[in-house]
Structure 1
Amino acid sequence: MHILKSTSLIIFMVIISTTLSAQEKIAFKVSFLEPKAHYADVEMDISGLKDDQIDLKMPVWTPGSYLIREFAKNVEGFQVSGASGGALSFSKVNKNTWRINTAKNSAIKVKYRVYSFEISVRTSFVDESHAFLSPAGLFLYPAGKLKMPSTVTIIPHANWTKISTGLDKVAGKENTFAASDFDILYDSPIEVGNQDIFEFTAAGVNHEVAMYGGGNYDKEVLKRDIAKIVHEQTKVFGVNPNKRYVFIVHNFNSGGGGLEHLNSTVLGATRNAYNTEVGLLRFLGLVSHEYFHLWNVKRLRPIALGPFNYDEENYTTNLWIAEGFTAYYQDVFTQRAGLQTPERFIASLASAISTVENTPGNRVETVADASFDAWIKQYRPNENSPNSTISYYSKGSLIALIMDLEIIHSTQGKAGLDEVMKAMYDEYYVKKKRGYTDAEFKAMAEKIAGHSLTNIYNDYINGLKTIDYNKYFDYAGLAITNEAAQSNEPYLGIATALREGKMIISQVARGSGAWNDGLNVNDEIISIDNYTIAKTKTGNTEMLKYVAGRSVGEKARVTVIRDGQEKVIDVNLGRNPAVKYSISALQNPSAAQMAVRKRWLKLE
């Protein structure tokens, strides 16, 4: 009996071993034969093949950046060989799919080059100084097999000595990293070069900061301040989901932007702004934004954003939560961490409100629609975008603000938006292991608030009503004032740009005199009345001064060149509708109002 059991066990283990050895395996190798020409050279080894053909695909977008970017356009020199080294046939069956005839080969090698010369946090870039690899635009995947694991071996170019990535190292293999599936691979950017690396520990997590491009940053200051942000954010959720986290920072003469990943982020920064109060706070705000995405988006996310479809758009109406709430919290946490004062935080809210209310598109497009249409509008703005769209970042942050104040007020300080985010994280990411629907987020927020939030949804999220800011600020003993309310400044309604020595209209504001009376984008302004507009950098300023000297209701005779022909257009000067908000404390706030303010700002 014992012998039979042992024999059965041996047979079982052999079967398992044979099955595993026969499974498909994928190994990538990336080298840089011509970095000055901006190429990454990729080899993809696939073994364990059984089918006569295999389709290899490249994503058309990268998660976190909602635009079809057509990464396959950068692929060159595609070739395939079998186990013996002979060439195998293949065909391109659509824009991002290569169909390979395996010719009964169980193992094949695919080689291709990727042109990498777009500076952004979401696209690969290679030159003689470094390589930034954005995996969604670099690595192919077998159709229908996104769950396959893979390894990536990096062969740095001469004189490059460092690799920074959130991927796990493969023991015993130099510069080789492992991804458990393609979602993980596509979510793990790689920096290769001579970046300045320093580390710190916060919330029990080891953090690596990889600085490319130099800069006047103080490592100790960044370690201290970023750690404060990490601690404050972790406190909300009670858990930090990583053991290790990587910041890849690209420092430029003028840089910005960020892209979140599961255990890393890529940030753009201005290299010589770290030693100024404004520059440092701007960078720390970006850090705060992308780090908060660890919970909000990378784990707690709209149900449409995972599992990802890399072939086409992934639509959701909830980017106002995914990005807008994160935009709100980025400043909340720099304030809680003591990196900016409550007064400065409140002033930044006034500025954000002014920006949204000065955007005509805020009265045309709902924030839910802005989320859904991100794929065709957010990343493809044109001269009319301010008139027809609103940013789900900026408007979403204001929705977060009023929800926070509403919930703190209605629960008498027992809960706020923090509790909504934690409850959603626990329920949908931890417990149900899926994304949430719009209705589910609303239901949780209402549960925490203790009452319906339908009015906020109907009026401000799915509707176009102007937010009643004073209602919500009053909860905290604050008042918002439009400092421009009494202004009677005349307004033409255009923005201009100096192009090739010509003063060109670049935007026309909806509802303005220019809009109503027919000035067009791309018109060259020659004169207003008999006042000739200077074709210099000071020309726009001079024009604004001239218009400011007129009166509301008067007509301005504007001479322009349109398509080579001179036109004279009489424009009615309206009142400048721009708002400029400030927020101040009420003189005699009640105890209830002070309790809301203290809970909101986490004041002692």
Structure 2
Amino acid sequence: MKKIRTNLFLLMTTAVTSTAASQPRIHFEVSFKEPQAHYVEIKMEIENLQRDFIDVKMPVWTPGSYLVREYAKNVESLEAFDGKDTPLATEKINKNTWRIASKKNRTLTVQYRVYGFEVSVRTNFIDDSHAFLSPAGTFLFVDGFLELPAEVTILPHASWSKISTGLEPVAGKPGTYQAADFDILFDSPIEVGNQDVFTFEAAGVLHEIAMVGGGNYDKERLTKDCIAIVEEATAIFGVNPNKRYVFIVHNYQSGGGGLEHLNSTVLGASRNGYQNERSYVGFLGLVAHEYFHLWHVKRLRPLELGPFDYDAENYTTALWIMEGFTAYFDNLLLRRCGFLTETSYLQALSSDINTIENRPGNQVQSAASASFDAWIKYYRPDENSANTSISYYNKGALLAMMLDLKLLAGTNGEKRLDDVLKAAYETFYVQKKRGFEELELQTLIEQVTGISVADIFDAAHTTGSLDYNRYLNAVGYEVIDYNDGRELPDLGISTSVSDGRVLVTGVGRGTAAWDSGINVRDEIIAINGERLDAHGKELNRVLQTAAIGDVLHVLIARDGKIQQLRVTLLKDTRGSFGIIPLADATVEQQRLGKIWLSQE
């Protein structure tokens, strides 16, 4: 009996070993022969995909940044070999796909180089000091096999000593990391160089900060403040889904921006801005924003945002929820952590109101359509963008504020946006293990709170101004327009000075300049016979002394030709908005307002 069990065990072990050996396997080796020339070398080993041919592809975009960036344009010298290093025929069959005549070989190697010299949180940057690798722009995948696990071995340049990434290290293999599938690989940026690395623990999670490019940051203060943000954000959802989280911070002379990932983020910052209080708090806001995405986008998400199609746009109308709600919570987290006073927090909200209400595109594009068209508009602004579009960040944040206040008022302070996001995370991510449709989220909010929120969701799909005071008044605040009642003339242009010339850079819809035909790129030479000075001060003087209805004779140069335009000044319709406490707020309104802005 014992002998039979031993033989059976041997048979089972052999079968398991044989099965494991025949499983498809993909391994990357990353090296840097010429970092000073901005190149990374990639060797991709593919095993056990025995086909007549295989197609390898480069993603055209990276999750979280909704623009087709055509990463394949940076790929050079792609070659393929069989297990005996015999070259295999390759053919590029479309913009991001290479077909390899693999001839049923069990082992296949693909070698290529990638050029990277674009400073951003979503593109490769390689020089003699370090390498930042955005995986979607670095690693090929086998068409039809995104679900395969991948292993990555990084061979740093001889002058570099550190690797920072959210990828899971492989035990016993220095510099080697693994991803359960290519969705995880593409969501795990890699920093290689001599970055300053320090760690902290918060919410039961080990956090690593990798500072690239130096800076005047105070490690002790930054660590303490990041711990506060992590714990406040985790308190909203009640659970932190990671065991380890990595902040990759690129410090430049002037930098900004961030991109969220599953268990990491990439941030841009100004290396000497940490000692300036306003700049430092702005950086903490970026930390809060990207960290909040750990739950809200990377896990709780619309159906359209995962699994991804890496060959084309992935359209959704819900970025007003995903980015807008996050933009609301980033400052709210700073308020709860004590980094923003009540006044400065209200000023931040007022800034969003001014941005939206003074943008003509608010009458043209809804927050939902701004989301859907992010692929062709948000990341590709032009001289007319202000007239035709809005940001789903700003307007989404204001819609989130309205939703939060409505829930607070409607439940006597018992429920708010925190509660419904926690419930949505549990329902869609934990239990159903899928994304949500907008109507599903609206329904869940109404079930959790007993409050109809159709007005908020309708407003997200509607153009025009929002009724802020309908919601702010309920918690003892109001929006006022400091320009209300003022009668000021406005030309309706923005300008810049180049080589002593005053050039038009923007023309507002419905303004005097718009009606009279002033164009972007026109050079304004003189007004009413007075030549403009090199800094445009004469233009300011004219506007300060003019009145609504005055006619200006504007001499311009357009495409080398001199023209004179007759411009009738119109009223400046722009507002100057602020949020202040209601003078006659009731005790109940004041109570709800304290809950809204509480630091507890």
How high is the TM-score relative to the length of structure 1? Answer: 0.98
TM superposition shift of 1:586: 2.1
Mapped to 2, the partners of 1:8 and 1:214 lie a distance apart of: 61
SS of 1:345 mapped into structure 2: helix
TM superposition shift of 1:276: 1.2
> CA offsets, 1:35-84, max 9 Å, x none?
11100111111112311111101100000000000000000011111111
Mapped to 2, the partners of 1:185 and 1:514 lie a distance apart of: 51
Q: Counterpart of 2:526?
A: 527
Mapped to 2, the partners of 1:598 and 1:465 lie a distance apart of: 30
TM superposition shift of 1:115: 0.4
Mapped to 2, the partners of 1:343 and 1:128 lie a distance apart of: 45
SS of 1:77 mapped into structure 2: strand
Q: Counterpart of 1:348?
A: 348
SS of 1:241 mapped into structure 2: coil
> Is residue 377 of structure 1 aligned with residue 377 of structure 2?
yes
SS of 1:45 mapped into structure 2: strand
Q: Counterpart of 2:569?
A: 573
Contact 1:30 1:41 in 2 (8 A): yes
Q: Counterpart of 2:473?
A: 474
The farther-off stretch of 67-76 and 348-357 is 348-357
Mapped to 1, the partners of 2:2 and 2:171 lie a distance apart of: 38
Q: Which amino acid aligns with 1:590?
A: T
Mapped to 1, the partners of 2:27 and 2:515 lie a distance apart of: 61
Q: Counterpart of 2:97?
A: 97
TM superposition shift of 1:158: 1.8
TM superposition shift of 1:277: 1.0
TM superposition shift of 1:5: 4.8
1:35-50 to structure 2, matched below 5 A, reads: 35-50=35-50
> CA offsets, 1:208-250, max 9 Å, x none?
1000111110000000001001110100100011111000000
Structure 2, gaps ≥5 residues long: none
TM superposition shift of 1:549: 1.1
Q: Counterpart of 2:455?
A: 455
Q: Counterpart of 1:313?
A: 313
Contact 2:407 2:451 in 1 (8 A): no
Q: Which amino acid aligns with 2:551?
A: K
SS of 1:122 mapped into structure 2: coil
> Is residue 560 of structure 1 aligned with residue 559 of structure 2?
no
Q: Which amino acid aligns with 1:528?
A: I
Mapped to 1, the partners of 2:541 and 2:349 lie a distance apart of: 29
Q: Counterpart of 1:69?
A: 69
Q: Counterpart of 2:265?
A: 265
SS of 1:442 mapped into structure 2: helix
Mapped to 1, the partners of 2:297 and 2:560 lie a distance apart of: 50
Contact 1:491 1:548 in 2 (8 A): no
TM superposition shift of 1:600: 0.9
Mapped to 1, the partners of 2:319 and 2:573 lie a distance apart of: 29
Structure 1 residues 258, 603: closer, same or farther in 2, change over 3 A?
closer
Q: Counterpart of 2:483?
A: 484
Q: Counterpart of 1:122?
A: 122
Mapped to 1, the partners of 2:162 and 2:344 lie a distance apart of: 39
User: Which runs of structure 1 show a deviation greater than 3 angstroms over 4 or more consecutive aligned residues?
Assistant: 1-9
TM superposition shift of 1:134: 0.4
Mapped to 2, the partners of 1:27 and 1:593 lie a distance apart of: 60
Mapped to 2, the partners of 1:2 and 1:204 lie a distance apart of: 47
SS of 2:92 mapped into structure 1: strand
> CA offsets, 1:463-494, max 9 Å, x none?
12421111211111112110011221210011
TM superposition shift of 1:603: 5.0
1:50-449 to structure 2, matched below 5 A, reads: 50-449=50-449
Q: Counterpart of 1:518?
A: 517
Contact 1:407 1:448 in 2 (8 A): no
SS of 2:91 mapped into structure 1: strand
SS of 1:118 mapped into structure 2: coil
Mapped to 1, the partners of 2:201 and 2:264 lie a distance apart of: 15
Contact 2:346 2:579 in 1 (8 A): yes
Structure 1 residues 81, 603: closer, same or farther in 2, change over 3 A?
closer
TM superposition shift of 1:585: 1.3
Contact 2:366 2:461 in 1 (8 A): yes
Mapped to 2, the partners of 1:163 and 1:603 lie a distance apart of: 37
SS of 1:117 mapped into structure 2: coil
Mapped to 1, the partners of 2:560 and 2:470 lie a distance apart of: 53
TM superposition shift of 1:3: 4.7
Mapped to 1, the partners of 2:309 and 2:478 lie a distance apart of: 46
Q: Which amino acid aligns with 1:552?
A: I
Mapped to 2, the partners of 1:309 and 1:36 lie a distance apart of: 33
TM superposition shift of 1:588: 3.7
Contact 2:50 2:103 in 1 (8 A): no
Among 542, 556, 561, the residue aligned to 2:538: 542
Mapped to 2, the partners of 1:301 and 1:542 lie a distance apart of: 52
TM superposition shift of 1:2: 5.8
Mapped to 2, the partners of 1:98 and 1:546 lie a distance apart of: 62
Mapped to 1, the partners of 2:599 and 2:151 lie a distance apart of: 49
Structure 1, gaps ≥5 residues long: none
TM superposition shift of 1:8: 3.7
TM superposition shift of 1:19: 1.6
Mapped to 2, the partners of 1:427 and 1:308 lie a distance apart of: 21
Mapped to 2, the partners of 1:151 and 1:563 lie a distance apart of: 56
Contact 2:364 2:464 in 1 (8 A): no
Contact 1:58 1:97 in 2 (8 A): yes
SS of 2:68 mapped into structure 1: coil
Among 568, 574, 587, the residue aligned to 1:591: 587
> CA offsets, 1:509-552, max 9 Å, x none?
00001111111111111111112112x3x22x431232121001
Mapped to 2, the partners of 1:216 and 1:19 lie a distance apart of: 54
Q: What RMSD over aligned residues (CA atoms) do the two structures have, in Å?
A: 1.2
Q: Counterpart of 2:498?
A: 499
Contact 1:408 1:596 in 2 (8 A): yes
Mapped to 2, the partners of 1:440 and 1:341 lie a distance apart of: 36
> CA offsets, 1:155-211, max 9 Å, x none?
111210111001111111111111111011100001011101111111111111000
TM superposition shift of 1:150: 1.1
SS of 1:113 mapped into structure 2: strand
Mapped to 1, the partners of 2:110 and 2:301 lie a distance apart of: 35
Mapped to 1, the partners of 2:55 and 2:468 lie a distance apart of: 54
Q: Counterpart of 1:602?
A: 598
Mapped to 2, the partners of 1:603 and 1:114 lie a distance apart of: 48
> CA offsets, 1:362-396, max 9 Å, x none?
11101010000000001000000000000000000
Q: Counterpart of 2:547?
A: 551
Percent identity over the alignment? 51
Mapped to 1, the partners of 2:375 and 2:62 lie a distance apart of: 12
The farther-off stretch of 232-241 and 460-469 is 460-469
Mapped to 2, the partners of 1:138 and 1:420 lie a distance apart of: 38
Mapped to 2, the partners of 1:456 and 1:66 lie a distance apart of: 24
TM superposition shift of 1:437: 0.2
Q: Which amino acid aligns with 1:260?
A: E
Mapped to 1, the partners of 2:443 and 2:324 lie a distance apart of: 19
SS of 2:152 mapped into structure 1: strand
TM superposition shift of 1:7: 3.4
Q: Which amino acid aligns with 2:310?
A: Y
Mapped to 2, the partners of 1:339 and 1:296 lie a distance apart of: 22
Mapped to 1, the partners of 2:368 and 2:206 lie a distance apart of: 37
> CA offsets, 1:329-380, max 9 Å, x none?
0000000011111221012111211111011101110101000000000100
SS of 2:574 mapped into structure 1: coil
Q: Which amino acid aligns with 1:394?
A: N
How high is the TM-score relative to the length of structure 2? Answer: 0.98
